[in-house]
Amino acid sequence: MESASPDIITLSGTGEPTLARNLGEIIKVVRDVSTVPIAILTNSSLMPDDSVRRDLCLLDNVVAKLDAPDFETFKKINRPADGIRLGEIINSLRCFRQEYSGKLSMQMMFINENKNCARALAELAVTIRPDEVQIDTPLRPCRLKPLPRHELEEIKQVFLDLGLNAVSIYDLEKPGANPLNMGDTLLRRPEL
């Protein structure tokens, strides 16, 4: 079996990784066995929890999702669980930026339902002060149609005009990858 040399260890999964009550312990164990930087992909829903933000401060890179500037759009796109409040998430992202010295990336997924919210989302991002804003649209197979490149470029320009460091998913080069086990990979991704 071949070995791989990771450049980053990313905590993510099918569910929200900040739901793990032992997130801080997980991060410490990873730090004990590796010097590779650690990141997390979060939907930001638990950012209002002080203990979650404290655990996230242990990471090198936090990629926090924000797809809507108002609660109606938030409900439509993200379908939050009862009790999840967009205003609390936004305020806690601002608090987190003050507490956190690592790289904060905001991930914003644009689809037809929120593409007209670009200016409002960019203005929110200015108040959060992320190191980077990732302008995304769904490119993997799913029920939602991706926005075309030209529309995402227009959205990215709104962020750039406000002085934000923004990158579009269409800007990124897809890195080459050699699966350790092609048979296992094809079971999970038969479309390859």
CATH number of the domain to which 152 belongs: 3.20.20.70
170/51 Cα distance (integer angstroms): 35
Supply the DSSP symbol for 49.
-
What is the average pLDDT across 115-127? 98
- Structurally, how many domains does the chain consist of? 1
Average pLDDT, the chain: 92
Which is more confidently placed, 53 or 4? Answer: 53
The model's confidence at residue 63, banded by pLDDT at 50, 70 and 90, is very high
Q: Is residue 107 part of a domain?
A: yes
pLDDT digits (tens, 9 = 90+) for 145-160: 999 999 999 999 999 9
With 90 as the cut, is the pLDDT of residue 14 above it?
A: no
Identify whether 4 is part of a domain: no
Residue 2 within a domain: no
Q: How far is CA 157 from the centre of its chain?
A: 20
Structural domain for 127, as ranges: 9-188
**Residue 3 included in any domain:** no
Single out the residue of 89, 9, 102, 107 nearest to residue 55, CA to CA. Answer: 102
| Higher per-residue pLDDT: 95 or 5 | 95
**Would you say residue 159 lies in a domain?**
yes
H or E segment and range at residue 109: strand 103-109
CA distance 157 to 151: 10
Structural domain includes residue 52: yes
Evaluate if residue 191 carries a pLDDT over 70.
no
- pTM (2 d.p.): 0.88
